[in-house]
Structure 1
Amino acid sequence: MPEPAQWRYRPRRALWHSGALRVGALITLLALSGLVILALVRAQTGTEGFLVGLGLAVLPVPLLIAAFRWLDRVEPEPWKNQLFAFAWGACAATLLAIIANSFATEWIAARVGTSSAPEAEAWGATFIAPVVEETAKGAALLLLFLYRRRDFDGIVDGVVIAGITATGFAFTENILYLGNAFGEDRALGSSGFQSVTAATFFIRIVMSPFAHPLFTALTGIGFGVAALATPRQRIRRVLVPLAGLLTAMVLHAVWNGSATLGGAGFIAVYGMFMVPVFGLLTWLVIWSRSSELETVRSHLPAYVAAGWLIPPEPHALSSMRARAIARDAARRHHGKQAARRVAEYQSFASALAFLRQRAHRGAAGADFIAREQELLHHLWQRKEVARSALAHAAQVTARPYVPYVPDRPHIPAQWSPPGGPSYGQQHAQPYGQQHGRPYGSPYGQQQYGPPYGR
């Protein structure tokens, strides 16, 4: 099966607006930050402590990344954005936080007049670290919001990027804490994992691996809400992300401050505050993903009327179960490459629905037509295997077909499938009567390619 043609809309830009130049600068910045943070952490923990901390800190990372990718299945965030977010959190944000927190702790000890270094560290952890760390992590969201706006469609995208950034940050921070804990145990004369390392591992890896992602997710929600705003809602686009950032700082400060309350106070804050907030955030993200599926169901039928999609597709694409069935059917009958092609088709179709939603809200950019053409091109290149798989999934899940009633079409008349009827000609025909066969007939009997399961 030949690979679909690589085609992408690429507007002309001046050199200082060049994407390659920005990417090169970011890679250089992250690489330098990574080298510096590696040297700093190794200097504080020692080589053996660094290796122990690295081995323990990596344990929750795959689980957290998998959880965020599971949430982002409707229209997966490009892997380059995810990689940048993790690298920013693990390298640049952590470096900024270590430097700023160290200066802040020294300043508090010298100016405020605290009686001891531990007291200065407690003040810094409660009042300075949340501001510095959440700002540093939020910078990744700001950069992607400004320069990868086409990939930022709502709350789910904001939470996913925020969570991956914070996972990277927590990964590096845990190396430092666990490595230092191991060094303390060794200083006490133990030859293995003793009380300090075990306690640190239990608190940071077992009890609260979601802490940093939870804080930064509040900033991500702010950017996600801002992504849904129209160009006229400028105040909302600025104030909501700031409100999310401020809320993340407050929650972070409460969490850090609970460590000074002793064991009972820490458990109380954990059980009565952190767990409910985590549950509420989880509900909000799952609800937002359901809203994304509703957007797919309500905005893609316009392309059925134009001849780009077949009737079962919008409803199959608006069900996570039907999507999984379509990919599995393609894999069983045509192999892994076909399953990947169907997954790409699902992602491009979702992006098309979100693009059309922005157009309905009046928030589409000047390149709306070019972006729409690009997405339609990708769908057309993958339609052979995807259509049959989605029609099969719609049949299995009994997803009903609801005729599309146009409201404000945003598809120009010239955008019609190659060799198919024009938009106006397709609109002139009664819906459900094309191709000499009613769309209400059972899925899998239409002439959309060989049915699965036979």
Structure 2
Amino acid sequence: MATCPPYPTSPSGPVGGAPRHAHWWQRRWVRYGAPAALLALSGLVILALVREQTGTEGFLVGLGLAVLPVPLLMAAFRWLDRVEPGPWRNLLFAFAWGACAAALIAIVANSFATHWIATATADPSGADTLGATVIAPVVEESAKATALLLVFVFRRRDFTGIVDGVVIAGVTATGFAFTENILYLGTAFGTDQLSGEPGLPSVTAATFFVRIVMSPFAHPLFTVMAGIGFGMSALLADHQRVRRALLPPAGLLLAMGMHAMWNGSASFGGYGFLAVYAAFMLPAFGLLTWLVVWTRQRELRTVREELPAYAAAGWLSPAEPYALGSMRARRLARDHARRHAGRAAARAVAQYEAYATSLAFLRRRGRRGRAGADFVPREQELLWELWRRRDVAGPALDHAARRTAPPVRVAPPPWPLHGAYGPPYQVYRQPSAHRPYGPAAPYPAHNPYRS
């Protein structure tokens, strides 16, 4: 049986450290600076294009109206991601990609394709309809799905399942819809200005009602199909290469089909549009909402099922697996830490919860044969992060567990701790002398997280 030192290995050593002689493209300023510069450049270009089409006044009106649904959508996707929160940099990248790069690709490609269709066909009047129902869904969904592909490839550690795919896809599509809404609303305002009719700007009001009130979730709903495909691919083992390769394109094709149906409904007239909206869009939105909420609950159940092995081995207290598997208990733990030790302690508890969740997901993948060769270093890295925060997070989580459930004793996990799966999927035991369990200890008088 493998043994473990009384304390986890620091990630500053071989676990989490960067190579000493990294290539220039592996340097931190290159990995973050180059994408940021490209996104900023594409943002300036898309800003100039949208302003040219809408005018300054139309751009400002469109911007003010288009921003309204963004906080609600971002809050919804962030709520879905609360079980294992992804880094903010991934969400910022996804939103910026959708609002800048994907929108720029869509505007240029759609304009070129529509112009080519109009000049190459005998009936130029149908170019706009064909472009909206065929070209736009392919171009826009491919551009948005590129953000998913980039996060999936270069931030693979942060992309572990369906919820991650849904969140990244939804945030990317929210950014794309934000830029597109500025264009549509600004153009509608310009049309009202040219008509010169007094009173309420009717075209702007109608566009606002359709795009902001009725269907703010349209673009996220389409792109989430591709996100589900990437998320399901992330759940498969390495040897299931064919299925892993086919799921993302299948999700992308479904996103394109839904987008094409939505765009094509405008050509059916007002009643056709409402029929598609009521018979297809609303049920699809409801089904997707149920799916992601169910997946979120399943993630919490995974935490409750996997972490008792680490409690039995001495890494966690007996009450922590339950507390970490309950969103209410997690919130109570953060509030308790904030009241007794300040905001820095609450942040430490939130980080502890995130690392423990990642540890549970890692063990689940290992038991199911889906863990990679970095299972042991990643497990040690996560245990080290938990160990650093144990003095602050332990009392808070024990307090939350007492508030939300009766006393918990460590029950044997539904699988052997050692032997059945062989190394590296056994749990290394933490000597109990290094962390006595029992009543929750008070916060230390001098802890690094006290604000």
TM-score between both structures, scaled by the size of structure 2: 0.89
Identity of aligned residues (%): 64
Instruction: Determine if the alignment matches structure 1 residue 226 to structure 2 residue 236.
Output: no
C-alpha change, 1:148 and 1:192, in structure 2 (3 Å) is: farther
Tell me if the contact between 2:366 and 2:425 (Cα under 8 Å) persists in the aligned partners: no
In structure 1, runs of 5+ residues without a counterpart are 423-433, 438-445
Match of 1:449 in 2: 441
Separation (CA, whole Å) in 1 of partners of 2:132 and 2:210: 16
Aligned-residue offset at 1:251: 0.3
Aligned-residue offset at 1:335: 2.3
C-alpha change, 1:410 and 1:287, in structure 2 (3 Å) is: farther
Separation (CA, whole Å) in 2 of partners of 1:127 and 1:336: 51
Instruction: Determine if the alignment matches structure 1 residue 376 to structure 2 residue 383.
Output: yes
Give matches, 1:417-428, under 5 Å: 417=430, 420=432
Separation (CA, whole Å) in 2 of partners of 1:137 and 1:268: 27
Tell me if the contact between 2:311 and 2:410 (Cα under 8 Å) persists in the aligned partners: no
Give matches, 1:44-193, under 5 Å: 44-116=53-125, 119-190=126-197, 193=200
Separation (CA, whole Å) in 2 of partners of 1:398 and 1:73: 21
Could you tell me which amino acid in structure 1 is paired with residue 62 of structure 2?
A: G
Match of 1:404 in 2: 412
C-alpha change, 1:401 and 1:185, in structure 2 (3 Å) is: farther
C-alpha change, 1:38 and 1:330, in structure 2 (3 Å) is: same
Separation (CA, whole Å) in 2 of partners of 1:252 and 1:413: 47
SS at match of 2:39: helix
Could you tell me which amino acid in structure 1 is paired with residue 33 of structure 2?
A: G
Could you tell me which amino acid in structure 2 is paired with residue 449 of structure 1?
A: A
TM-score between both structures, scaled by the size of structure 1: 0.88
Instruction: Determine if the alignment matches structure 1 residue 277 to structure 2 residue 269.
Output: no
Instruction: Determine if the alignment matches structure 1 residue 264 to structure 2 residue 271.
Output: yes
Q: Which has the higher contact order (CA 8 A, sep 6+)?
A: 2
More moved, 187-196 vs 7-16: 7-16
RMSD: 2.2
Tell me if the contact between 2:46 and 2:100 (Cα under 8 Å) persists in the aligned partners: yes
Separation (CA, whole Å) in 2 of partners of 1:107 and 1:345: 55
More moved, 212-221 vs 373-382: 373-382
Instruction: Determine if the alignment matches structure 1 residue 250 to structure 2 residue 260.
Output: no
Aligned-residue offset at 1:107: 1.4
Could you tell me which amino acid in structure 2 is paired with residue 91 of structure 1?
A: C
Separation (CA, whole Å) in 2 of partners of 1:109 and 1:177: 22
In structure 2, runs of 5+ residues without a counterpart are 1-9, 444-451
C-alpha change, 1:192 and 1:44, in structure 2 (3 Å) is: farther
Separation (CA, whole Å) in 1 of partners of 2:96 and 2:124: 38
Give matches, 1:212-223, under 5 Å: 212-223=219-230
Separation (CA, whole Å) in 1 of partners of 2:251 and 2:218: 16
Separation (CA, whole Å) in 2 of partners of 1:191 and 1:170: 30
Which of 276, 287, 303 aligns to 1:296? It is: 303
Could you tell me which amino acid in structure 1 is paired with residue 365 of structure 2?
A: R
